[in-house]
A = this chain, B = another copy of it.
Amino acid sequence: MAEIDKKREQIIESAIRRFSHFGVQKTTMNEIADDIAVSQPSLYYYFPDKTSIIVAVVEKVSNDYFEELEKILAETECLKDIFFQIIEFRRNFVKKFFMMHLTDSSADAIIRDNCDEILQESRLREIKIVAGILNSAIEKGEIAEIDAENVSAIYLDSLTGLCMWIISKNQKNIFPESKHWDAMVARQRELAEIFLKSLKYKDRSTCKV
C-alpha cells in the first residue's frame, strides 16, 4: 500500500477511537495529529478538513459492515439464518454510530450535509444484496415469486425503523443500555419471521379471505 494511504488509515483509526470515546464534537484535529505523532498542518496534508475525516470514518464503518455481510452470504445457506445474521451485524453497525455520537443533534448537521449520500447509497446497496438473496431463494423454489427488490426495501426499512423507534423510546440517558439493544434485536427477529412466513406462499386476494 502506498505510504500516503497508510497514513490516511492511521488517521481514520485514531479518529474512530477518539470519536468512540469522546464523540465527534469533542475530538480535536490536534488530538488526532498527536495520536499519529505529526503536527497539525501535516494532518491537513492528508485530509483537507475535519469533515472529510468524518466522512472517511462513516465510509469505513459502512464498508466494514458490507464486508461482514459478504462473508456470511458465502457461508450461510438457510434463509432464516442469513436474516438473523444480518440483524446481528446491523446491531453492531448502528451501535458504532451511537458510540461515536454521530447521531447526536450536535453532529447531525455535519452528517446530514456530508454523509447523506454515502448512507443513501449504503441503503440501496443493502437492499440489492438482500434482493439478491431473495432472488436466489426464488430460483431454488424455496420461496414464492415476488418483487424481490421491493420486498427487500420494505423489510430493511422496517428493520431500520424498529431500531430507531425502540432505541429512541428507551434513550432517556445518552446511551441505550444493552437490554434495549437486545429488545430491538428481538423485535427485529420477530419481524423477520413474519416476512419469512409471508415469502413462502403465492399471493392471494387479500380482501374477504
Contact of A191 among B158, B172, B206 (CB under 8 A): B158
Contact of A201 among B165, B201, B208 (CB under 8 A): B201
Once the chains are docked, how many angstroms separate the CA of A27 from the CA of B115?
35
Encode A184-202 as 1/0 by CB contact (under 8 A) with B: 0001001101111110110
Once the chains are docked, how many angstroms separate the CA of A150 from the CA of B193?
13
Residues of the B chain whose Cβ atoms lie less than 8 Å from the Cβ of A163: 161
User: Which of A29-37, A46-54, A66-74, A75-83 contacts the other chain?
Assistant: A75-83
Q: Check B162–A80 contact: CB distance below 8 A.
A: no
| Residues 69 to 107 of chain A near chain B (Cβ within 8 Å) | 77-81, 105
Residues of the B chain whose Cβ atoms lie less than 8 Å from the Cβ of A164: 161, 164-165, 168
Given contacts A105-B105, A197-B198, A198-B197, contact A154 B78 (CB under 8 A): no
Interface size of A in residues (CB-CB distance below 8 Å)? 40
Residues of the B chain whose Cβ atoms lie less than 8 Å from the Cβ of A190: 150, 154
Encode A146-183 as 1/0 by CB contact (under 8 A) with B: 00001100100110111111101000100000000000
**What number of copies of this chain does the assembly contain?**
2
Mostly, the A contact residues are helix
Q: Check A207–B157 contact: CB distance below 8 A.
A: no
Q: Nearest chain B CB to A83's CB is how many angstroms away?
A: 9
* A126 part of interface (Cβ distance < 8 Å): no
* A1 part of interface (Cβ distance < 8 Å): no
Once the chains are docked, how many angstroms separate the CA of A165 from the CA of B165?
8
Once the chains are docked, how many angstroms separate the CA of A160 from the CA of B23?
28
Residues of the B chain whose Cβ atoms lie less than 8 Å from the Cβ of A200: 201, 204, 209
Would you list 28 pairs from A and B whose C-beta atoms are within 8 A, ordered by A residue?
Answer: A77-B208, A78-B207, A79-B206, A79-B207, A79-B209, A80-B206, A80-B207, A112-B172, A151-B194, A154-B191, A157-B165, A157-B187, A158-B158, A158-B161, A158-B191, A161-B163, A161-B164, A161-B165, A161-B166, A164-B165, A193-B206, A194-B194, A194-B195, A197-B201, A197-B204, A197-B206, A198-B198, A200-B209
